[in-house]
Amino acid sequence: MAILVNKDTKVLVQGITGKEGSFHAKQCKEYGTKIVAGVTPGKGGTQVEGIPVFNTVREAVEETGANCSLIFVPAPFAPDAIVEALDNGIELIICITEGIPVRDMMMVKDYMVKNYPNAKLVGPNCPGVITPGEAKVGIMPGHVFKRGKIGIVSRSGTLTYEAAYQLTKLGLGQSTAVGIGGDPVHGLTHKDVIEMFNKDPETEAILMIGEIGGTEEEEAAEYIESEVKKPVFAYIAGVTAPPGRRMGHAGAIIMGGKGTAQAKMKALEKAGVYVIDNPAKIGETVASVLNKIK
């Protein structure tokens, strides 16, 4: 089962002729993902790594039946790319692009929520989604992941790889890993993804990797407390981050005393989540708790 992507997902890559786009399209294809099309205006009729390139998403969808878009289009043009995918019926959009203006994302999200309530956006500024052994729709190193029963949702890229690596090393595989991105306005939230994992029969435990800023972790905690029976683990990065300083991600900032790691950890603990304070012990903690539960 897993969530969001699987071996049948037909992916089109917007911005496939760029440096990033062509490199990762190849990597995803080699992993076994069904990359059916690429889109770059003006490059229609060409090929990248044997993948046909189209001028428009419309043509790509008509010709290949693509149902998921992976976006590498540069920030100034990425909002246009997301809307083009939405308007052509793509219901899962994974946007890797970093540096999109907040206002543009706000307008795009508003448009999406009002016109395409069933569409799902992952990112922007995210590593993408992987269902190990089936489909890698993103930029993560595939070999770090292994198929199994733990669902991962995370705001960060390398920290996701770190966590997956620790789990995999201990023989704990993942159902799906979702990087939701570090921007202040983005698509799927921690809560949205946890809800999907909760309904997914293959996922037996959930690992959430949060960070300072915003209130998404707190909102997830509320949901977990009332709805989730599966064990949930959480690590929150940024305990030592000073207020008012943006920690790399546009969204990772403590503002007005809101969004501290301590507040998030407290809310999660209250919701019955196993909160891990040492990022080197994520795998160990998950393994030992799951052993005890069994």
Partner 1 sequence: MKLHEHQAKEIFAKYGIPVPEGKVAFSLKEAKEVAKELGEYPLVVKAQVHCGGRGKAGGVRVVKSEEELEQAVNDLLGKVLKTFQCPDGKPVNRVLIERATNIDKEYYLAITLDRSKSKPVIMASAAGGMEIEEIVKENPEAIIIQTIDPELGLMPYQARELAYKLGLPVREFTSIALNLYKIYTELDASLVEINPLVLTKEGTLVALDAKLDIDDNSLFRHKDLEELEDESQIPKLEAEAKKYGLNYIKLNGNIGCMVNGAGLAMATMDIIKLAGGEPANFLDVGGGANVEQIANAFRILMADPDVKVVFINIFGGILRVDRLAQGLIEASKMVELRVPVVARLEGTNVEEGKRLLQESGLNFIIAEDMWDGAKKAVELAKQAQ
Separation between Cα atoms, residue 107 and residue 217, nearest integer Å: 24
- If you count them, how many residues does the chain have? 294
Q: With binding defined as CB under 8 A, does residue 238 bind partner 1?
A: yes
CB of 235 to partner 1, least distance (A): 8
Looking only at residues 117 through 146 of this chain, which bind partner 1 when binding is defined by CB under 8 A?
Answer: 139-141, 143-144
175, 179, 207: which is closest to 194 by C-alpha? 207
Separation between Cα atoms, residue 251 and residue 201, nearest integer Å: 32
According to DSSP, the β-strands at 92-95 and 274-276 are unpaired
State the first-to-last Cα distance of the chain, in angstroms, to the nearest integer: 22
- Interface pick for partner 1 out of 240, 292, 293, 294 (rule CB under 8 A): 240
Number of residues binding to partner 1, judged by CB under 8 A: 65
- Interface pick for partner 1 out of 30, 87, 110, 269 (rule CB under 8 A): 110
CB of 63 to partner 1, least distance (A): 30
Q: With binding defined as CB under 8 A, does residue 32 bind partner 1?
A: no
Q: Is 109 helix (H, G, I), strand (E, B) or coil?
A: helix
Q: Name the residue nearer to partner 1 (CB basis): 206 or 250.
A: 250
Q: Name the residue nearer to partner 1 (CB basis): 54 or 72.
A: 72
Helices H, strands E: what count in the chain? Answer: 9, 14
- Interface pick for partner 1 out of 100, 152, 178, 228 (rule CB under 8 A): 100
Catalytic site includes residue 143: no
Draw the binding track, 146-165, toward partner 1 (x: CB under 8 A; -: no contact): --------xxxxxxxxx--x
Instruction: Judge whether 232 and 274 are in contact, CB under 8 Å.
Output: yes
The catalytic position among 24, 186, 190, 249 is 249
123, 120, 251, 250: which is closest to 195 by C-alpha? 120
Q: Name the residue nearer to partner 1 (CB basis): 24 or 34.
A: 24
User: Which tokens in the block code for residue 90?
Assistant: 């793509």
- Interface pick for partner 1 out of 68, 153, 205, 237 (rule CB under 8 A): 237
Residue 42 CB contacts under 8 Å (≥ 6 apart), including other chains: 55
- Interface pick for partner 1 out of 118, 280, 291, 293 (rule CB under 8 A): 280
Instruction: Judge whether 233 and 277 are in contact, CB under 8 Å.
Output: no
- Interface pick for partner 1 out of 73, 247, 267, 286 (rule CB under 8 A): 247
Looking only at residues 48 through 87 of this chain, which bind partner 1 when binding is defined by CB under 8 A?
Answer: 75-76
Instruction: Judge whether 102 and 183 are in contact, CB under 8 Å.
Output: yes
- Sign, Cα dihedral of 105, 108, 110, 112: negative
Separation between Cα atoms, residue 272 and residue 157, nearest integer Å: 26
Looking only at residues 253 through 272 of this chain, which bind partner 1 when binding is defined by CB under 8 A?
Answer: 256-257, 261
175, 136, 144: which is closest to 160 by C-alpha? 144
Q: Name the residue nearer to partner 1 (CB basis): 44 or 101.
A: 101
Residues in contact with partner 1 by CB under 8 A are: 23, 27, 75-76, 99-103, 105-107, 109-111, 114, 139-141, 143-144, 154-162, 165, 182, 184-185, 209, 211-216, 219, 235, 237-242, 244-245, 247-252, 256-257, 261, 277-281
Q: Where in the sequence numbering do the catalytic residues fall?
A: 249
